[in-house]
Amino acid sequence: MSAVTDTAPVAAPGNPLGRSVRDSLIVAKRNLIRMSRIPEMVIYGLIQPIMFVVLFTYVFGGSMKIGGSTSALDYKNFLMAGIFAQTVTFATASSGVGIADDMHKGLIDRFRSLPMARGAVLTGRTLADLVQTALTLLVLAVVALLVGWRTGSDGDTNAARVAAAFGLLLLLGYAFTWVGALIGLSVRTPEAATSGGLIWLFPVTFISNAFVDTSHMTPWLRHIAEWNPFSATVQAARVLFANPGVSPSHAWPMEHPVWASLLYSVLIILIFRTLAVRKYRSATA
């Protein structure tokens, strides 16, 4: 008869940074394989952003005023950066639910028993979600082109600038997945993670310049919208896409949207990754 002892796993030898990267990639691969075996996860993730494109384009497009114009085409080109940004941020909810589900099923405890970097479990999960978000964004861009969206509608752009815009969008999405990771670690059930992962996203995405020109908002609400990290990325994408933007503003994020987007995203990653890894360690201690 043998006794089972609760001993801490022995860390594998080697460079700590290299080991952390390797472990993170292994966990990311595991999550990507899981996603490929459940294709409805990807399919359902595509339905909502496509619905938003169709509804906002054809239902609200003719009644929105952008820069004094009520043209449906102008609003369509204005809208798409907001839809892209909303899509990558709403992926945050699935990250939180996935991590909460792993915690609820005890999978995190299994990872804990392995000689792997503690932060690799969360980093691997967020990297896998980033890949899924990139695929969703690719499909959504194709749909946008089909409904008439075009880059360069309000100036000159090129492939490098368009790629940079999508890069900023994905960076924001990756930053927000760490918010979702923290929520997933802080709740007791996946159902709670679903509610907690969505409730804060609606004010962040709608009190912004994603769907309307902020000049039509009341002054205090416009101030919030212009300093919203989400708004900075939306505005940066519009600048790089050379699509119609919001009315001129003296708010620093609106005057320097590309730098503001980078700064906001990096700060969110640094802050929420630190909090999420700390929460993970205390939750599995």
Produce one character per residue of 152-166: b if its CB has 16 or more CB atoms within 10 Å, e if not.
ebbeebeeebbebbb
The dihedral sign for the CA sequence 168, 173, 174, 178: positive
The pLDDT value recorded for residue 219 is 92
The pLDDT value recorded for residue 8 is 43
For the chain (285 residues), the mean pLDDT of every run of 10, in chain order, is 44 64 83 77 76 77 62 80 91 80 72 71 87 89 88 83 95 93 85 81 91 88 95 95 84 94 96 90 65
The pLDDT value recorded for residue 124 is 86
Question: Cα separations (Å) of 179 from 52, 193, 241?
Answer: 23, 11, 27
- pTM here is 0.85
Give the residue from 165, 190, 37 showing the smallest Cα distance to 108. 190
Q: Is 66 helix (H, G, I), strand (E, B) or coil?
A: strand
Burial (CB < 10 A; 0-12, 13-18, 19+), residue 285, is: exposed
The pLDDT value recorded for residue 271 is 96
The Cα 53–Cα 147 span in angstroms is 8
Q: Where are the domains of the chain?
A: 16-283
The dihedral sign for the CA sequence 279, 281, 284, 285: negative
The pLDDT value recorded for residue 70 is 58
